[in-house]
Amino acid sequence: MNLIVAVDENWAIGNKGNLLVRIPADHKMFRQETTGKVVVLGRKTMDTFPNGQPLKNRTNIVLSHNTEYSVKDAVVVHSVEELLEELKKYDTNDVYIIGGTSVYEQMLPYCDVAHVTKIDHSYEADAYFPNLDADPEWEITADSDEQYYFDLTYQFLKYERKKK
Which pTM was predicted? 0.95
For residue 100, cis peptide bond before it (omega within 30 degrees of 0): yes
- Which CATH number fits the domain that encloses residue 32? 3.40.430.10
CA–CA separation, 56 and 20 (whole Å): 23
Q: Report the pLDDT averaged over residues 36-47.
A: 96
> What's the domain count of the chain?
1
For residue 17, cis peptide bond before it (omega within 30 degrees of 0): no
Query: Hey, which residues does 113 pair with through a beta bridge?
Result: 2, 160
Cα-Cα-Cα-Cα torsion 64, 73, 2, 44, nearest 10 degrees, comes to -40
CA–CA separation, 144 and 163 (whole Å): 23
Contact by Cβ (8 Å): 6, 19: yes
Confidence at residue 34, expressed as pLDDT on a 0 to 100 scale:
98
pLDDT tens track for 50-99: 899 999 999 999 999 999 999 999 999 999 999 999 999 999 999 999 99
Give the domain range for residue 50.
2-161
